[in-house]
Every structure is written in structure tokens, then in C-alpha cells.
Structure 1
């Protein structure tokens, strides 16, 4: 038996991990995790599995003590939240879990999307923000709002097709001390912001006129999409000669936090050889995919 920091005594066979979601074939997580575990000298396997909400409970119940943890992508972050017996603050605020650590005391849930956004923006020198915009009002928008709160934002405009979809974000904003305002895709003039975080699916229809209006005053764009690039929004930012980043940076950094969790039991506990691990993960993103 081995003792891992923060986790107590674990089975010597607790070396299996996977990313679950639907769709899942496009996921870059196996490349990222394999690169980190190679640097750390861990003989852990990390695969992927197509799992939807209906099949999650059965698949999860079948896991034995050879499993160390799971990464969860859409549409499983809500059911993973419900499956966790304990959750970190970011997960509690967002109602979304994208990481389950299969601790002997019970599954522990974490949201590393928030930290992934914060750390990706830091790569561009953005460590504080006063006013920002979120495009989209789905599950990822909650992580974006919590990330912005950690950067000190005071006001956030949420651009959504359905005003009622922003209600949950408005309530979360009140809890975080952020003024959340709803705006429409049809608006011709948006107030200037320092940063835009887009949380729409990559193939979401956005007219050129709407995208251009957002780009005109949108500051840097972080588009969480990485499987469909360029997006309608990133193309508009390019036309406006403004900086647009894909979701690969967010993916990289949220994966590093997951590796910390799976190795150390804590997203705030740095890895041994962390700089080397992060470098290997960056290089893995540059490799071509077979999906």
C-alpha cells in the first residue's frame, strides 16, 4: 500500500483515470495527462470514454479500486457535482464538477475550469480586470463569472439570446459582489470592456454584424472553444485586429490543476517538477491529433 499526500493510504493498483463526456473523441486530455505523468514518473493510464448523463450512474458504479479519478466534460458536470461527497469552493459556487478524485473516504469534486481561465489569462498578462463581458449563459459561463470574480471584476455584461438564461448568473453575481447586466446579440453598440470570455459552442451561429459589434469594444477575447477554430467571434476579433485566444490555454491549465489533484489531492499543491510537467503538456498540445 502507498500513502499519497492528502489522500491517506491507497491501493497500489489505483492507477486508472479517464475523461468522460459526450462527445469525447475530440478531447486532448489524454495527451496532456500522459505527458505530465511521464515527467512525474507515474505509470498511470489515462483514457477516454463516451458517457452521457443517462449512463453516468451505471458507469460510475462499476468503477473498482483500480480507479484513481475522472475528468468530466459536457454534459456531465452537473451529475458529477451530485456524485461528489465533498466539493471545493469553486465547484460549490458554479454547481459544476469537472474533476472527481476517488478518495477512499468518498469521491471529492473539484472545478478546475475556473483556475484554468485565471491561469490562461495570466499567460497574457491579465491578472486584474474591472469590467468584462461573457458571451453565452450556459454552464461554462458560471465558471467564467467565478474566474472574473477572482480577478477583481466589478461589472460583467452577459450577452445572451434569452434574457431569462442570465437569471442564475445574476444571482451568482450578487453572491460574488459583481454587478451583472444582460445585453443582446442584436445590440449595435456595446460598452467598452477589457476582456471578453466566450462560452458558446464552436458551431454556434453568430452573425458577422453581431460579432463585429462585440469585437469593436471587447478587449482581449478568450474563446473557450478549441475543437472548432476559428469561431465566428475569433474571426471578428481578427478583422478588428484584436487579440483572440482559443480555449487551449484554459484546457492546458485546468489539466495541470487536475494532475495536481490526482497526484497530491489538492489543486493548490504544486507538483514536483511542475515547470517541466507544464512544458511537456504544452508540447503535447502542439502535436497533431488522430481524432
Structure 2
């Protein structure tokens, strides 16, 4: 009988259906790195959202057959080692194709219409002191007629593009940075930066994409442009972002992710009190509906593995 161990079950708020085949189930709300080996000693299937499973750990788990990642990202698991050891790895796909795009547009609308700045004015009594019925202390800009640049055009990027079109925005899809040719339907990376009123990032984090946006890229953007990042914090050089915001080089930024999570005290973005910067705590993916879809797919992946036909397989 298979033994399934969920290492960080508190990371998902959902009704997790148990697999259909006979099994023993053990879950822990959270697991520290020094607890992993002891908890997986006799496990054949492990579920992890963010707990890391590196080579030095996997090599000490001869009975492990499957890793079910309760997320799309796989950077917390040594995929190469799993392939060497014939450990099946499955992830979750397309569960957040509604909730992340909605979060993107929440950030974009709030920044484009200066929501935080107007809220601060209200708190300071500016409207109450105004000589007319409305307050014109900050510009309000429409999304309609503006240009959105998409960097990354997978399922979520495509969904963001559809919403943008519904708002009446022009959508540019960026070609890979440094590409020597541009595919049909795509726009040169640098031209996308120059021509967009807002940029939205939808890429995985890997050696090719780390610090994709830095000082040089901010220098290419329009002075009023917005940068939205609901993907991975490491895609953007945080020190360059801070400088671009403080100097007014760009119009604003809405981030749901940071390079280190949870963030450590001293990260200057945590204390950045500007009306054109919004930081949310990695929640774009986490609507209750999306988490339930994730949980259902997680169990489906494990059931498919037990039938000998793994789905959403990455190793």
C-alpha cells in the first residue's frame, strides 16, 4: 500500500479529495528542511508545494516513487535527479487562469487611476477642503486605448491578453530577450518595452530569466509606464526597481512577488511608501476557486500515477 505524505498542507485552503486507491495518508501543515528526511523515510508519494526536495535528500529516499507538486513552479524539486532515479514528478497547470489575470487588472487599474493617491488625499481632508464637487489632485488615465506589453504568453499571459482586448487595449507580445528573429504575432523585446504603457510579466524563473528587467530595461520604458509582476520576484532586479520608482523613471509598479519569500526585514520594497507602488503578499493565485481547482487536479495527478498513466508530468 502506498504511503502519501503532504509536507505543507497549510499552504492550500481547499477540500482535498483523497486518492481513490488504498493508501496511508499523513500530512503536516508545514515542514522545516531538517524535518524532511524523517517525515519521508517510508513514503512512496510526497506532496509538496514549496518545501524543497534536493538531490542530497532524494538520494536518501529509495522508496520514493512520485512527487506531486501542489503548484505550477518546479524550481523547489531537483528534476534532473528525479529523472535519474525514475521518480515521477507532476505539477499543476492552468488552475489560476482566472484569478491571476484578475489580480493583474486590479493592480493596473488601481495604478492607472491613482487609487492610493486619492485615498491618501481623502485621509488628509483634501476633498473636504475642495472648492468644487470633485478633486483633480492626480491624473486619472483609462486603460482603453493604451498598450499592454505581455512578457510571457502561456495560459495566464493569454488570459491577460484577452482581458486587455476586452478593455480596448492594444496588446503586444514580446519576443524572447536577445532573440535574433521575431516570430509572427510577436514584437521585438526592446520595442515592446518602448511602446507599452503597461508591462505584465508571466514567465518562470530560471537562469535565462533572472533579472530580466533591470536598469537598462527601465531606461527603455516610457516615463509613465507601469510594470506588473505576478509571476516570480527574481524576474526583476529589485534595486533597479527601487531606483526607477524613486527617481520617477517609470510611472508605477504593482508586484505580488519578491525575490525572497517570505521577505526578510530590511527589504526596501517592504517600506516603500509611494502611491504608485502596490505590493501584495503573493496572493494573486490564491482565490478560493483557484485553490479548489488546484486541489482537485493534485488528486487527479496522483490517481493517474497509480493507474500507470501519469498526467501533467515534468519528470
TM range (shorter): 0.3 to 0.5
Per residue, is there more strand in 1 or in 2? 1
When normalised by structure 2's length, the TM-score is 0.42
When normalised by structure 1's length, the TM-score is 0.45
Structure with higher Rg: it is 2
